[in-house]
Amino acid sequence: MNSTSLLSKNNAVDHLPAFIQTNIPLHDKNWFGTGGAAHYFCEPKTPQEFSTALAFAHQHQLPTYILGEGANVLISDAGFAGLIIRPRLLDITFSDTHVTAGAGASLAHVIEVCLDNGLIGLEEFSGIPGTIGGAVFINLHYFEFLIAQFLVHAVIIDAVTGVIQTVDNAWFNFSYNYSTLHTRTHYLVCATFALTRTSPDLINFARGRRHEIIRHRARRYPTARTCGSFFRVFHPEEVTLVINTKNDFCWLLS
């Protein structure tokens, strides 16, 4: 029995778009290696497929979740009773000093292609796993660098209507670990970043820096079954600032 007829038997969805699969395991699609199966799963390769997937979910009142490389998610062993969308929007194009990358493109690959094209900037995020979608969602950061500093504009898709539009940097309301994508009213389709064109010598320097950052990270962090840093950013109402007479200070967690 194929999965479509199995679903019909359970009074669920009769007619699946060809690119939507059923009962797909998720444990091999994230860094922790956890998670049961997604009832529905797809990897749209075009914005139109992305839109079709959302329309399908909306029509059948299925919850949706967008998955990148799963480097910042912990998936329940119960699985996901809805549609997991893992965008396979992988195009990378250049226009002068701007690079536009699809939401599903891996950050590591985008950095390499930018260096190959004489553009520096994004290599500051070397060694951080994930896709462009995940990076923009969280406003990816490494020391003083935030991906928001490079993003000029982006294409987003409305989570309900599937309408696609272009928005500028301000739309994202970026702050530490935050972008408007957290509201989950829209998902990222692609993003355009402004980089710096430089000489072959400085490209070589940037490649060296990239290797050094990766070496430094590899020495400090586990590289499997992890989500990177294990700390939580506390909200102001959870902590109290205490300053003593010597002007030392600390935060007390209530």
Ligand X SMILES: Cc1cc2nc3c(=O)[nH]c(=O)nc-3n(C[C@H](O)[C@H](O)[C@H](O)COP(=O)(O)OP(=O)(O)OC[C@H]3O[C@@H](n4cnc5c(N)ncnc54)[C@H](O)[C@@H]3O)c2cc1C
Binding site for ligand X (CB under 6 A): 31, 65-73, 87, 103, 128-131, 133-135, 137-138, 140-142, 181, 187-188, 221, 226-228
How many Å apart are CA 21 and CA 24, to the nearest integer? 7
How many Å apart are CA 75 and CA 226, to the nearest integer? 12
Pick between residue 118 and residue 228 the one whose CB is nearest to ligand X. Answer: 228
* CA atoms within a 13 Å half-sphere pointing along the CA-CB vector of 143: 6
Tokens of 94: 């250049």
Pick between residue 12 and residue 90 the one whose CB is nearest to ligand X. Answer: 90
Pick between residue 4 and residue 169 the one whose CB is nearest to ligand X. Answer: 169
* Least distance CB 190 / ligand X (angstroms): 9
Pick between residue 31 and residue 41 the one whose CB is nearest to ligand X. Answer: 31
Between the alpha carbon of residue 23 and those of residues 27, 37, 133, 134, 149, the distances in Å are 12, 6, 24, 24, 39
Pick between residue 66 and residue 148 the one whose CB is nearest to ligand X. Answer: 66
* Least distance CB 254 / ligand X (angstroms): 27
* Least distance CB 177 / ligand X (angstroms): 7
* Least distance CB 181 / ligand X (angstroms): 4
How many Å apart are CA 142 and CA 128, to the nearest integer? 9
Contacts for 43 with CB less than 8 Å, ≥ 6 apart: 19, 85, 86, 87, 88, 104
How many Å apart are CA 7 and CA 22, to the nearest integer? 9
* Least distance CB 176 / ligand X (angstroms): 9
